[in-house]
Structure 1
Amino acid sequence: MAAGHRAIVRDRMFLRQVPRPRVFRDRSNPLEDLREEEIFARYRFRPDTIYFIVDLCQAAARDTGRCFAIPLVLCVLSYLRFLATGAFQLTVGDTVNLSQPTVSSLPPGFPNVVGVIDCTHVSIKKPSANPEDYIGRKGIPTINVQAVCDASYRITSAVVMWPGRTHDARIWRQCALRRRFEDGDMHGFLLADSGYACTRYMLTPYMNPVREAQARYNGALCRTRVTVEQTFGILKQRFQVLRRKLNCYPERACMHIRNCITLHNLGIDRRDIVAVDPIDPNDNPHYHRVDVGDNMDGRAAREYVTRMYFER
């Protein structure tokens, strides 16, 4: 028995000493091998936009003195594929012929409206620290992402750090953009649903409209505010990882979400657009039956806009 055990150990030690043949992967550039529609289907951007992203990364690499053993275009494609599909890293790596360890290390109607605000939830891996803080409305761990968008679906402000259990109104109370409005550095109106307090710069719906003008105001607000829902739809249609689940803990998940928002804006700026189905605002009023503390200045501002623009 002892002799047999020694023989097994000896054989294993011998096998460890035998050099394994090195596998050289074909790292050809998929952008040169695929048609444009195939590239867009895989990476959610057209080739010229992808090369633009590569150039940005190349400039950043020069600034930091960083070099890449792997062609930078393959690094970018690997990350875009991950964001586009939410697939496991091994699957993502296979699409551009990289190993799993390599992939895991890769990096109408309203006056003076400046934006539309809302929050959306992104599912994440259940954290080990304070997991109950991350359980959102659907009973799963999420990051609650606040975003402000403009009429072109560009995200002009985003807060990506709060656990899913955090109420939308609290995120707004703590964010830097609110302080800019309060200090007078920002002018105009934000449009929001009733999950936010109505203030002198943030217009929300009437919970119980009693006049026809108030009903018209609510209808116009819903038709305009649907822009932010469409923005989230475009964002998550391009980056399926946000629609499914980011299988990582909060800090890294927030990094991926911020990267998705940056790339989303780049796509909007370059008119590299992802089509989504239109949203019917009448099916999506977003009234939250909670008291979030409307103030007198807010109610006065809302009533002024109603009388000036929706009275007949």
Structure 2
Amino acid sequence: MASFAAAETKGHGTNVRDATLRVSPGMNAEKLIRLERGRDLVILEQSNLDNQPWVKVYATIPQEERAPREITGWTTANGIVTASVPNGDQIIFGEAVDSENQAEQRGGRKGAAQDAMRLYYRLTEIFPNSSLAGESLWRSADIRWQLEKQDVLSRPSAREMDPDLRNPMDDRLMKEISKKYPHTRWSDLASYDLIDNKLCGEWKGLSKCPEKESDIYEHYAHEHPQSPKAAEALYNAAWRQAALVDIYRINNENDKVGNARKKASALAQEIASQYGSQGDWKPRALDLIYKLEQNVPVYGPQPE
């Protein structure tokens, strides 16, 4: 870890390890609070005690549905990264990635996803000109989005057809990405996540939702052709058109079946021809085309 000695007083920083805030320097001083990784810190003073560097910090800790908690105290300087620390952006990014990996492991560190979310965001604040800033803002926003999505989908309102009948995921950070990093990989990914707020909960066997969702995904793919999510968006559009073939048939709207089948095949063929090297989307598209040609249902009860 790079030395903290060069860090400027009143510098903005964050902690890449859990830290204990105390009323004064020294391991025997009274404890105030435990600071998880990635907290927003302002360095107020520096001191040395028993040949160990200490810093007095002002910490801001957000609280749900309440004003942020603001607290001042002392902690050991090791593990505190400010803009003056060499390779500080990479250090924060590395710890964020490690935390993200912890969150994905069975039995991983509790709160690791939130640690990663905070660390990525701190990097963008402390090192706004870093080559990692755009990706870090995206990663922070996506972790927050997925955590909120998990909560939203656990509620009864998640089963409603109309997405307006459930609480949406907070889209402010995603929109910030599009504003700060327009026409980039990160704004493309942010725009894709935003589609979640427009999707129905359950279709309930009706055509309204898949018709709307297919249009949304197709529009995204054509507006963001270079996006890492372009092929996936086209597949989602094609699959919904294929599902409409079955829905129209079940609901005796046979006059609409042909157009849906044609649209689904065209979208799937677009994937196969334009995104053949992107993951497994080409074989999945060809599978969908085969099912359409063979009248194999993709939605609803499967015939024996």
TM-score, normalisation: structure 1: 0.26
Q: Which has the larger strand fraction? A: 2
